[in-house]
Amino acid sequence: MFAATVPLLVPAVREFHALHPATEVEVIAAQQSVIHRSLLEGGVDLGLVNYLEGDDLAPDLHTTELLRGRPVVCLRPDSPLAGLESVGVDDLLSEPLIVMRSGYLMHRFTHRLLKGRTPSFSYSADGAEMGKLMVAEGLGVTVLPDYSVIGDPLERTGAITARPLKDDTTTVLLVVQRSRSGSVTRAARDLHRIFVERAEAHRDGARGRGQDAGER
């Protein structure tokens, strides 16, 4: 299985293991093209993939939407940018920027956001989890979907936080995909169902946190 976001992945795998204790789950992080190829070749059963709203979906893959959110700036709570209500491009360029490697959705989005401008210093990260670790260690800031940051263990312990992007209305989708051809194992069907149920619980929890914040 290819994975995209820890706050959804970890509880889903834990629930799946309770249901199928003898079934091994292999979790791999990879670029979108690698995920698609592996699904079509039968190398993996399921893939969690990020899309921008309006992107064309792979026609030979069955796709189910799990989460939708906004790109946000992931940063340490003691970052100068954490004092801002929202972060503009000029603010982003003033800090060392951790950019996802080519082939990841947020690489494409970040380059579109910057419109050819370059940060003062940049790093390249192989996926969101490495990017969040680099942020937590104080190497810079990065741009990720909000659902990849909010609820992450690093966010819950106060090592990282998130701020919205100024004047940006982009919607990011997290989907689960499987091949349309070939048979689907019971274990894969169960894990697919668990992802859908966990995503619904994640959305309900996010709405509850938003209501609590509005009441304070």
pTM of the model: 0.87
Say what the pLDDT of residue 210 is.
45
Q: Got the DSSP string for 2-38?
A: B---HHHHHHHHHHHHHH-TTS----B---HHHHHHH
Structure letter (DSSP) for residue 127: S
Each residue's pLDDT tens digit, 125-165: 988 999 999 999 999 999 999 999 998 999 999 999 999 99
**Which uninterrupted H or E stretch holds 186?**
helix 186-215
Say what the pLDDT of residue 3 is.
58
Kindly tell me if the per-residue pLDDT of 1 is higher than 90.
no
Each residue's pLDDT tens digit, 31-59: 888 999 999 998 899 999 999 999 998 89
Query: Predicted confidence band at 69 (pLDDT cuts at 50, 70, 90)?
Result: very high
Say what the pLDDT of residue 133 is.
96
Query: Predicted confidence band at 201 (pLDDT cuts at 50, 70, 90)?
Result: confident
Share of the chain above pLDDT 70, in %: 93
Domains of the chain: 6-68+171-215 (3.40.190.10), 71-164 (3.40.190.10)
Say what the pLDDT of residue 214 is.
41
Least confident range of 108-122, 152-166, 195-209: 195-209
Say what the pLDDT of residue 203 is.
79
Say what the pLDDT of residue 28 is.
83
Q: Got the DSSP string for 76-123?
A: -TTSGGGGSSSB-HHHHHTS-EEEEPTTSHHHHHHHHHHTT---SSEE
- Phi-psi sector, 51: left (phi>0), alpha (psi -120 to 50), beta: beta
Mean pLDDT to the nearest integer, 86-107: 94
